[in-house]
Structure 1
Amino acid sequence: MTEPGFAFAELPLRPASYAAGLGSTLVVIPHPDDESLGCGGLLALLRQSGQPVRAVLISDGTMSHPNSRKFPPAARQALREAELRQALTILGADAAELRCLGLPDGAVPPQGAAGFTAAVRQLRAWVEEARPATVLLPWRRDPHPDHRATHQLVQAALQGLPVVRQLEYVVWAWERAAPADLPQPGEAAGWRLDIAPVLAQKQQAIAAHRSQLTNLIDDPAGFRLSDSMLAHFAQPSEVYLEAPGLPGRA
């Protein structure tokens, strides 16, 4: 993907050891697989350094294969949640600590929509329970409405709480971002994290999401991660973006 005015590949590279300084971390995931794709390497490095990692899943993940007969919505939700738990386990996180908000895939409410306030209330309670030093969340304009809505939910949930470091990870911005979707001057500083030591672990976690990689679910028109998309997440580094003025901002 051409990245007008903001080239992810040219961002400064920080060593794998940098992850240890992030402290206890909460990763907020719009759909099962976003955690492995966007920040799986960081999660593995955090756990290797002994830092606690907790995860919150925002959507039910059911819209990836809406025409399946073998897997009706409840079965699709259970399958995708099981895949997520397996991926988290591969990355070293405690899958038993997973919290699931269960919002409708493809219709996670943005700010002002029905259901937003209730979702913020529940998410805030989980943040207070986890008391993280760092929160991982989708890039604010990642080109998927659920990712953008997830970012808004996290921002609203964090209001009034002790300030934590926020790292925004990218998923769809690699392939679908318009110029206006990318960080604008002064909006965010970016850097890459060296994940070479745990790249194989990240790839194993991605592979755990079999429903998104194979014909496991009987819906020929359903979603499947393309080879070109997967290539972005086979790189030995991950991209993170930070707004100016927040803790840890370099």
Structure 2
Amino acid sequence: MSSLLIDPERHPLRPGDSVRTLGRTVVLAPHPDDESLGCGGLLARLAAHGVPARVVVVTDGAQSHPGSAAYPPERLRALREAEARAAVAALGVDDIVFLGHPDCGLPVPGSAPFEAAAERLAEALGRAETVLVPWRRDPHCDHVGTWALAAAAATRLDDPPRWIEYPVWAWPHADGEEAPHEGEARAWRLDIGAVLPAKRRAIAAHRSQTGLITDDPDGFRLAPDMLAFFDRSWELFLEPGRPVTATDPHAHA
């Protein structure tokens, strides 16, 4: 099957003001920075049009630099939370919730901790009319785990929200099994040209991921070639052609 991430500009481009149709929107970020990378333009568009938006950060991101003496986990956790607050503020959003799950340590589906986490996430979703989650096979354990938690949480809501997925780590694997393929979802792009400067400021706010921490040579860093996927005048979103459930057999390739 053809990957939806190959030649992405073939997908329809929707105007920025089309975000008005999303209604109350919640963006789920597996780590602090995913909200800015994958949905920064959408969030800025929502804010510009007065549409209520919330960001829910699922993990604390404290494992990005495990070898740093200057930024041990507690300090890094606090820094990444502060960075996320600054990032969403740059996008015009002030509603952000931190669930605080350990980085790379989300509970396993079917376990009691998973059920408790799904219940808590359902509370954070509240009366959302639209929920944005990472692409279901985005190749990172926390991205896949966030998708699973969100699917379980959605089943607990009285009115299931519109479900939209966004790629982050699937972009470098656009021709791989992890990518979304024809028939799995409908792809469309949102014009974010007018708010691209705000998105750039939001991404830059995540300094811990772009070079601030220098005493862990093996620590994570967003490389320029990765950042290039998110420095475009549009963002790409994916909508499945059928309702999503917590036991969706297509969640994993």
Same fold (TM over 0.5): yes
Distance 1:217 1:24 in 2: 40
Cα offset, 1:61, TM superposition: 0.4
Distance 1:179 1:216 in 2: 32
Across the aligned residues of Structure 1 and Structure 2, the Cα RMSD in angstroms comes to: 1.8
Return closer, same or farther for 1:110/1:243 CA change in 2, 3 Å cut-off. farther
Return closer, same or farther for 1:73/1:5 CA change in 2, 3 Å cut-off. closer
Residue 64 of structure 1 aligns to which amino acid in structure 2? S
Distance 1:183 1:214 in 2: 31
Q: TM-score, normalised by structure 2?
A: 0.90
| Runs of 4+ that moved beyond 3 A | none
2:130 maps to 1:158: no
2:51 maps to 1:51: yes
Residue 130 of structure 2 aligns to which amino acid in structure 1? T
**Residue number in structure 2 paired with 1:184:** 181
Cα offset, 1:242, TM superposition: 0.4
Contact 1:110–1:152 under 8 Å retained in 2: no
Distance 1:231 1:63 in 2: 24
**Residue number in structure 2 paired with 1:227:** 224
Cα offset, 1:34, TM superposition: 0.2
Cα offset, 1:220, TM superposition: 1.5
Q: TM-score, normalised by structure 1?
A: 0.91
SS in 2 for 1:39: helix
2:171 maps to 1:174: yes
2:26 maps to 1:26: yes
Residue 16 of structure 1 aligns to which amino acid in structure 2? G
Q: Percent identity?
A: 49
Distance 2:225 2:62 in 1: 23
SS in 2 for 1:207: helix
Cα offset, 1:179, TM superposition: 2.8
Contact 1:19–1:42 under 8 Å retained in 2: yes
SS in 1 for 2:99: strand
Residue 227 of structure 2 aligns to which amino acid in structure 1? L
**Residue number in structure 1 paired with 2:248:** none
Distance 2:163 2:201 in 1: 26
Higher helix share: 1
**Residue number in structure 2 paired with 1:133:** 129
Distance 1:214 1:5 in 2: 32
Give the unaligned 5+ runs of structure 2: 245-253
